[in-house]
Amino acid sequence: MISQITIPFSLIVNPNHIDQGVTPKSIKVNISDQNNEKIQVINLVDDINQNFKQDKKFSFLSKSQQKKLSDKVNQKSHQYISSITLLNFGRDISGKYITISCNQYNDTKKVISYRYLLHYDGHKIKSSKHLGKKSASYPPRFIIPDTALGNDGINQSKSFMQQIKTAIINSNLISNNESIPGDFQQIAANLGLTKGQNDKALYQLTKHANSRLTNFAIIGYELSDVPRYSRIYLKQINNGHSYYYTLTYNRNTNKFQSFQTAIHSNRLANQ
């Protein structure tokens, strides 16, 4: 009877494989309609703009960030921050956040966009992080008021990742140490993932999986209107190393369209 038991090849090569990795801390994706959240963050940025126009202070930033931004703007007398625009909103392990652009004008046709990620609770800014700066011909604005957000896809992300997990396990590719990204093209096609290099992400997820593929979790999501995407972020831990992925839901087609390695966002995009 014992001779009839099949032992996965991965366990023969590495008997500790089944215990490798731990499940990262995750966020809840069973959330309420994000249309109301969109209205709230638009109002929040409107308040930030109004307060700034009144006192010309970057009170939504930390004191050190306020000084750094003021020093940059004041390097030349004709430079000034004209407006603050909203790029996206979402949630991560630390809570809800928005990404904003502080738009600097001078005597050229270019706009310097200073980008910040702000964690918030209601109308209170809890923390701020400087992301970088970009140069553009006009102030970036990736959240469009008075347009319906539509089905955000966040609630469906957990079940879709379960579909990915089941497809990988059923393919027996976890136990195949000689698999290559091309082996995952059919899985991606069967899941309806047609944009980007999905096979490479599925390959990496499998390569660093434990035997039951339980060492990953959803750690965040982010929504924008330009492009009209909901991006779901995942983290995988294996042998003390972390690997990140982005699952993208297209709100125009109401479908998950890509699964990519790394974190993808419009935080530092121009359009």
pLDDT tens-digit readout, 15-56: 444 445 589 999 999 998 899 999 999 999 999 999 999 999
CB 46 within 8 A of CB 83: no
The predicted structure's pLDDT at residue 21: 57
- Domain boundary (107, 136, 165) is at 136
Is 142 inside any structural domain?
Answer: no
User: pLDDT class for 251, splitting at 50, 70, 90?
Assistant: very high
**pLDDT exceeds cutoff 80 at 122:** yes
Residues 105 and 233 in one domain: no
Q: Model pTM greater than 0.85?
A: yes
Mean pLDDT of 248-261: 98
Is 267 inside any structural domain?
Answer: no
Residues 87 and 127 in one domain: yes
Residues 49 and 11 in one domain: no
Is 144 inside any structural domain?
Answer: no
- Domain boundary (86, 101, 136) is at 136
pLDDT in tens, 60-95: 999 999 999 999 999 998 999 999 999 999 999 999
Residues 117 and 60 in one domain: yes
Q: What are phi and psi of 207, to 5 degrees?
A: -60, -40
Higher pLDDT, 19 or 251: 251
Residues 254 and 156 in one domain: yes
Residues 87 and 171 in one domain: no
In the chain, the number of structural domains is 2
Any idea how long the chain is? 271
CA distance 231 to 140: 19
Residues 17 and 59 in one domain: no
**pLDDT exceeds cutoff 90 at 170:** yes
Mean pLDDT of 245-270: 96
Range of the domain at 248: 2-32+152-261
CA distance 58 to 102: 10
Residues 112 and 179 in one domain: no
pLDDT in tens, 173-210: 988 888 999 999 999 999 999 988 999 999 999 999 99
pLDDT in tens, 208-232: 999 889 999 999 999 999 999 999 9
Tokens 């731990």, residue located: 22
Residues 22 and 45 in one domain: no
Residues 28 and 40 in one domain: no
- Domain boundary (136, 169, 204) is at 136
Residues 18 and 41 in one domain: no
User: pLDDT class for 271, splitting at 50, 70, 90?
Assistant: low
Residues 158 and 195 in one domain: yes
CA distance 264 to 271: 14
Whichever domain contains 255, its CATH number is 3.10.450
Is 11 inside any structural domain?
Answer: yes
Is 129 inside any structural domain?
Answer: yes
| Cβ neighbours of 16 (radius 10 Å) | 9
